[in-house]
Amino acid sequence: MRIDIITVLPELLQSPLNYSILKRAQDKKLVEIVVHNLRDYSLDKHRKVDDYPFGGEAGMVMQIEPVDRAITQLKSEREYDEVIFTTPDGEQFDQPMANQLSMAGNLIILCGHYKGIDYRIREHFITKEVSIGDYVLTGGELAAAIMCDAIVRLIPGAIGDEQSALSDSFQDNLLAPPVYTRPAEYKGWRVPDVLLSGHQRKIDEWKHEQSLERTRRLRPDLLK
């Protein structure tokens, strides 16, 4: 899998994508994440990529030409499953969407910025518009990093323990059960006895009950 991210702030994406599981998945060649500076595709002598909106209003708008040049260049090199645009008015990103995108071959993510982007980009190049939640971020970079994290950890081999991604909260619409580690008792606070019992069937039952109880209490909407 390859993910190409087009942004005006490539620096902002460097560190979130280069640690932990995302780093290891790239080292293992499970995924290649390439960040492109949109300004490199500008024909303007000042590398300008935005301009004032037609019809007035405040704020700058991302221009179509550099975006067209960037996307056209990438598409000439390989096929892409989706050209994603990060925007607060997009479809809500969630675990099922992460699962689906983790099975893609190649993805382009265009990070939204400024007041918006020339709408013709959305009409002619973008195949999927995605938001990470109902709040407004300064730009789409952090949203793109979050999406990459959620997607890449689902690629088989990215996580050491294969079971681990399957037992995530949300993967089966239930919150994950509590986990504990040594010491079994700290300041008088004890780990639940069942977890120390060595009785695997009872442990699994307990985990499932805890998942159900936590989901009913904290996220009853997931059970509907």
Q: Exactly one of 112, 121, 150, 153 binds ligand 6GU (CB under 6 A); which one?
A: 112
Q: Exactly one of 5, 31, 33, 137 binds ligand 6GU (CB under 6 A); which one?
A: 137
Q: What are phi and psi of 46, to 5 degrees?
A: -95, 10
Give the angle subtended at the CA of 22 by the CAs of 99 and 92, to the nearest 5°.
Answer: 40
DSSP 180: -
Binding segment for ligand 6GU (CB under 6 A), chosen from 3-11, 98-106, 133-141, 196-204, is 133-141
DSSP 139: S
Taking the C-alpha atoms of residue 83 and residue 131, their distance in angstroms, rounded to an integer, is 14
Binding segment for ligand 6GU (CB under 6 A), chosen from 67-75, 100-108, 137-145, 175-183, is 137-145
Near ligand 6GU in 14-33, by CB under 6 A: none
CB-based contact 34:2 (threshold 8 Å):
yes
112: annotated binding-site residue? yes
Q: Token digits for 101?
A: 């995108």
* The residue type at 223: L
**Which chain residues interact with ligand 6GU by CB under 6 A?**
86-88, 112, 130-133, 135-137, 139-140, 143
- Binding-site annotation: residue ranges for S-adenosyl-L-methionine: 112, 132-137
